[in-house]
Amino acid sequence: MTDPIADYLTRLRNAIKANHRVVEIPASNLKKEMTRILHEKGYILNYKFMDDGAKGTIKIALKYDPVSKVNSIKKLQRVSTPGLRQYVGYKDMPRVLNGLGIAILSTSKGVMTDKEAVGLKVGGEVLCYVY
Protein backbone atom coordinates (compact mmCIF):
# COMPACT_ATOMS: atom_id res chain seq x y z
CA MET A 1 0.00 0.00 0.00
CA THR A 2 1.55 3.29 -1.06
CA ASP A 3 -0.76 5.70 0.79
CA PRO A 4 -2.19 4.37 4.08
CA ILE A 5 -3.79 7.72 4.99
CA ALA A 6 -5.79 7.76 1.73
CA ASP A 7 -6.86 4.17 2.49
CA TYR A 8 -7.98 5.24 5.99
CA LEU A 9 -10.05 8.12 4.60
CA THR A 10 -11.53 5.96 1.83
CA ARG A 11 -12.61 3.28 4.28
CA LEU A 12 -14.36 5.92 6.37
CA ARG A 13 -16.00 7.47 3.28
CA ASN A 14 -17.23 4.07 2.05
CA ALA A 15 -18.64 3.14 5.47
CA ILE A 16 -20.49 6.46 5.64
CA LYS A 17 -21.98 6.02 2.17
CA ALA A 18 -23.10 2.47 3.04
CA ASN A 19 -24.63 3.71 6.35
CA HIS A 20 -22.51 1.35 8.44
CA ARG A 21 -22.39 1.87 12.20
CA VAL A 22 -18.87 0.47 12.72
CA VAL A 23 -15.82 0.33 10.46
CA GLU A 24 -12.55 -1.58 11.01
CA ILE A 25 -9.29 -0.09 9.76
CA PRO A 26 -5.70 -1.43 9.99
CA ALA A 27 -3.89 0.50 12.70
CA SER A 28 -0.77 2.63 12.75
CA ASN A 29 0.33 5.33 15.17
CA LEU A 30 -0.60 8.11 12.72
CA LYS A 31 -4.06 6.63 12.13
CA LYS A 32 -4.59 6.29 15.89
CA GLU A 33 -3.81 9.97 16.39
CA MET A 34 -6.10 10.98 13.51
CA THR A 35 -8.89 8.87 15.05
CA ARG A 36 -8.33 10.51 18.44
CA ILE A 37 -8.65 13.96 16.86
CA LEU A 38 -11.84 13.00 15.01
CA HIS A 39 -13.32 11.76 18.31
CA GLU A 40 -12.28 14.90 20.23
CA LYS A 41 -13.82 17.17 17.61
CA GLY A 42 -17.09 15.19 17.59
CA TYR A 43 -16.93 13.70 14.08
CA ILE A 44 -17.07 10.09 15.28
CA LEU A 45 -19.00 8.55 18.16
CA ASN A 46 -16.34 6.27 19.65
CA TYR A 47 -13.25 4.22 18.79
CA LYS A 48 -11.35 1.23 20.12
CA PHE A 49 -7.82 0.02 19.41
CA MET A 50 -7.60 -3.76 19.00
CA ASP A 51 -4.05 -5.16 19.25
CA ASP A 52 -3.80 -8.59 17.59
CA GLY A 53 -0.12 -9.39 17.96
CA ALA A 54 2.01 -7.62 15.36
CA LYS A 55 -0.95 -6.10 13.53
CA GLY A 56 -3.68 -4.06 15.11
CA THR A 57 -7.01 -2.65 14.01
CA ILE A 58 -9.04 0.40 14.88
CA LYS A 59 -12.79 -0.03 15.35
CA ILE A 60 -14.58 3.26 14.74
CA ALA A 61 -18.24 3.82 15.62
CA LEU A 62 -19.62 6.39 13.20
CA LYS A 63 -21.83 9.22 14.42
CA TYR A 64 -25.28 9.74 12.88
CA ASP A 65 -28.02 12.26 13.66
CA PRO A 66 -30.82 10.29 15.39
CA VAL A 67 -33.62 12.13 13.54
CA SER A 68 -32.39 12.66 9.99
CA LYS A 69 -29.87 9.73 9.90
CA VAL A 70 -27.22 12.03 8.38
CA ASN A 71 -23.57 11.44 9.26
CA SER A 72 -21.64 14.17 11.05
CA ILE A 73 -18.80 13.92 8.51
CA LYS A 74 -19.78 15.65 5.28
CA LYS A 75 -16.45 15.39 3.48
CA LEU A 76 -13.00 13.87 4.00
CA GLN A 77 -10.42 15.25 1.59
CA ARG A 78 -6.79 14.12 1.31
CA VAL A 79 -4.47 17.08 0.78
CA SER A 80 -0.86 15.92 0.94
CA THR A 81 -0.06 12.81 -1.10
CA PRO A 82 3.15 10.75 -1.33
CA GLY A 83 3.79 12.24 -4.77
CA LEU A 84 3.12 15.85 -3.76
CA ARG A 85 3.58 16.81 -0.13
CA GLN A 86 1.82 19.98 1.06
CA TYR A 87 3.56 21.88 3.86
CA VAL A 88 2.36 25.10 5.49
CA GLY A 89 3.71 27.47 8.08
CA TYR A 90 1.55 28.59 10.97
CA LYS A 91 1.00 32.00 9.36
CA ASP A 92 -0.32 30.41 6.13
CA MET A 93 -2.66 27.89 7.79
CA PRO A 94 -5.63 26.94 5.56
CA ARG A 95 -9.16 27.76 6.74
CA VAL A 96 -11.44 24.81 6.12
CA LEU A 97 -15.03 25.81 5.35
CA ASN A 98 -14.30 29.30 6.71
CA GLY A 99 -13.31 27.91 10.12
CA LEU A 100 -16.15 25.39 10.54
CA GLY A 101 -14.09 22.36 9.46
CA ILE A 102 -10.68 21.16 10.58
CA ALA A 103 -7.39 20.44 8.88
CA ILE A 104 -5.33 17.61 10.38
CA LEU A 105 -1.59 18.30 10.33
CA SER A 106 1.49 16.26 11.04
CA THR A 107 3.92 18.57 12.82
CA SER A 108 7.20 18.26 14.69
CA LYS A 109 5.15 18.30 17.92
CA GLY A 110 2.79 15.52 16.84
CA VAL A 111 -0.47 15.19 14.92
CA MET A 112 -2.87 18.07 15.61
CA THR A 113 -5.57 20.29 14.14
CA ASP A 114 -4.93 23.56 12.35
CA LYS A 115 -6.14 25.64 15.31
CA GLU A 116 -3.85 23.84 17.76
CA ALA A 117 -0.89 24.32 15.39
CA VAL A 118 -1.55 28.07 15.12
CA GLY A 119 -1.75 28.27 18.92
CA LEU A 120 1.63 26.54 19.27
CA LYS A 121 3.05 28.57 16.33
CA VAL A 122 4.15 25.43 14.48
CA GLY A 123 3.64 24.42 10.85
CA GLY A 124 3.71 21.04 9.19
CA GLU A 125 2.30 18.72 6.54
CA VAL A 126 -1.43 19.06 5.87
CA LEU A 127 -2.78 15.50 5.86
CA CYS A 128 -6.50 16.07 5.25
CA TYR A 129 -9.53 18.34 5.57
CA VAL A 130 -12.60 17.20 7.52
CA TYR A 131 -16.00 18.91 7.56
For residue range 84-126, list pLDDT tens digits in order: 999 999 999 999 999 999 999 999 999 999 999 999 999 999 9
Q: What are phi and psi of 113, to 5 degrees?
A: -85, 170
The residue ranges of every structural domain in the chain are 4-130
The pLDDT of residue 1 is 75
For domain 4-130, give the CATH number.
Answer: 3.30.1490.10
More confident call, 6 vs 1: 6
Q: Report pLDDT for 61.
A: 96
Alpha-carbon separation of residue 80 from 6, 15, 23 (angstroms)? 10, 22, 24
Average pLDDT, the chain: 94
